[in-house]
Structure 1
Amino acid sequence: MGSVAVGLTALFGRVRPEGLDHLPKRGPAILAVNHTTIADVPPVLATLYRSGLRPSIPCERPNCGADHGHVRFMASSQVFASRTIGPLARQAGMIEVGLRQAGAVALRAAHDALARGEVVGIYPEGDVSATEDGSPRRFRFGVGRLAAEAGVPVVPIAHHDARRIGSGSVARSLGGALTSIVRRPTVRLRVGKPIRPDEFAGLPLRDVVDLVQDRVVEVWRAVSGEAVPDAGEAVPEAGEAVPEAGPQEKPL
């Protein structure tokens, strides 16, 4: 999955990363990433891969956690159902998030992965219904619940301009990606300072979600240089995913 993401990113555009020294090589830790389009997944995975954080199950070799690490992202059932992406998602050890009650099952699987000392990636917005300026939307409760129950660091990651590769429905995103081969857009990505467990220990769930969102928004502001409007109320679903669906489809 990592090498495929690197190839796609090189084909469709460029990534300008910052703050990669904040990425953990070993867990337990959560990576919380903003989500605006299905086209932002390859640049994110490619950046992590190039920094030594491979999207896969830990290899448990002697140098694992030292010169490289591994991350397992939560992804929607639609990703796993895809004939092209599904096999890659399984090979990468992604955690499947289904509909409704299945979100709780996915959170348990993610919690178990953290208990084993792994790094788990999550898209707290849950879908790709982007705001006009691309600022992070209100986070769902799953990221707060996972962080609070596991008591592990949360690394805020934000990117900007991924929609220049492609955005909207799957068809529109793919169409945009084809033209980006010529346009060569640059995606700016920044990794923020990890949120320590003691910063949210004992806080109500809603406050934990707000803390994580505030930190991701801060990172997004730094990388985009834009102000962020009020995102509205949180959506109380259990888990988050990387959907392959269009902007109006919410897997949870």
Structure 2
Amino acid sequence: MSRRRIGFWYRLAAVLLKPPLLVFFKRDWRGMEHIPEKDGFITVVNHNSAVDPLSYAHFQYNTGRVPRFLAKVSLFKSGFVGTAMRGTGQIPVFRESKDAIGAFRAAVEAINKGECVAFYPEGTLTREPGMWPMKGKTGAARVALETRAPVIPVAQWGANLAVPPYPKRGEIKLFPRKTLIVKAGPPIDLSEFYGKEPTAAVLREVTDRIMDEITALLSEIRGEPAPTERYDHRATEQRPQDGVPPQQQAEPAQQAGRAQHDTAPPGGAGGENA
């Protein structure tokens, strides 16, 4: 997709959002050569800060292939938000669909039309104590097997050092400036799954492979090994401990993760690209 097809609304968003990002953050973009120059594709991205969708979008905007994010269909129906969502080409998810792939039919259609659709497979901000990717949901796997489009893993780090997940008062630290590191990897080889019935077991295997690739990229960025077991926040929060409510159990782990990673990881510095 050429830059002239990005459109007015996406360009307006860039005009409004890029200046503060340039003021408050340094940038280290890696792996732009892995973003396809044409045809539809999928990106799968880790999520560790409310700010990281902006850093990822900035990274990919600079490649000329803008991402289309998934959002619930109600956001598209009214007001300025709806106008902006439609204008920037974001993808409505029809959760009322009776079949699983039907819930993502707009994403499939967008990919078939040559667009990039971005998935956050974790489905939420990470709750993993060390801010590693958690167990993923299977939506990206479903769409990948349906379209057979390239799946590009993307890992990012740095936004969480300024704005951690679920921050409390005093935990947002914009200065000194943090470096937003975004790294794209080569397409994930899923060819062995093409033609197979998308059973729960197949979708889980594809999803685990996707999360493994994202985690490996993040490990390279951080310069340290990832945990050997994938954190599953749904299972953890559903498992009571000595009568303590799940939401209270999760909070100490989140606080520990924020304290552990309050400084940049080894190898965090890098080249800066506007």
Q: TM-score, normalised by structure 1?
A: 0.74
Which stretch shows the higher mean deviation, 185-194 or 79-88? 79-88
Alpha-carbon distance between aligned partners in 1 of 2:77 and 2:26, rounded to the nearest angstrom: 29
Please tell me the residue identity of whatever aligns with 2:223. Answer: G
2:160 alignment counterpart: 163
Superposition pairs of residues 8-157 of structure 1, within 5 angstroms: 8-54=20-66, 71-76=67-72, 87-97=83-93, 105-157=102-154
Q: CA RMSD in A?
A: 3.1
Which residue number in structure 2 is paired with residue 183 of structure 1? 176
Partners of 2:134 and 2:232 within 8 A in 1: no
Partner of 1:63: none
Residues 6 and 43 in structure 1, CA contact (< 8 A), matched pair in contact too: no
- Structure 1 residues 164 and 193, CA, compared in 2 at 3 Å: closer, same or farther? same
Q: Is the 8 A contact 2:156 2:181 kept in 1?
A: yes
How far apart are residue 155 of structure 1 and its match?
A: 0.2
Q: Work out the percentage of aligned pairs sharing the same amino acid.
A: 28
Contact between 2:46 and 2:120, CA under 8 Å: does it hold in 1?
Answer: yes
Aligned-partner Cα distance in 1 for 2:37–2:71? 21
Task: Give the unaligned 5+ runs of structure 2.
Answer: 1-12, 197-201, 235-249, 252-274
Q: Comparing 6-15 with 137-146, which one deviates more in the overlay?
A: 6-15
Query: Which residue matches 1:231?
Result: 230
Compared with structure 1, are the counterparts of its residues 13 and 226 closer, same or farther at alpha carbon in structure 2 (3 Å cutoff)?
same
Bigger Cα displacement from structure 2, 73-82 vs 144-153: 73-82
Structure with bigger gyration radius: 2
1:75-101 CA-partner distances (Å, limit 9, x unpaired): 346866997765433321111336675
Pick 1 or 2: higher relative contact order, CA cutoff 8 A, min separation 6. 1
* Corresponding pairs, count: 217
- Contact 1:26 1:119 (8 Å CA) reproduced: no
Q: Which runs of 5 or more structure 1 residues have no equivalent in the other structure? A: 55-70, 236-246
TM-score normalized with structure 2 length: 0.68
Q: Answer whether contact 2:101 2:142 (CA < 8 A) is retained.
A: no
Q: CA deviation at 1:217?
A: 1.2
Q: String of CA shifts for 1:173-215, please: whole Å, max 9, x gaps.
A: 89766x41x3211121111011244253245222111111111
Deviates more, 1:43-52 or 1:94-103: 94-103
Quick check: 2:43–2:153 contact (8 Å CA) kept in 1? yes
Tell me the amino acid that sits aligned with residue 134 of structure 2: R
Letter aligned with residue 219 of structure 2? R
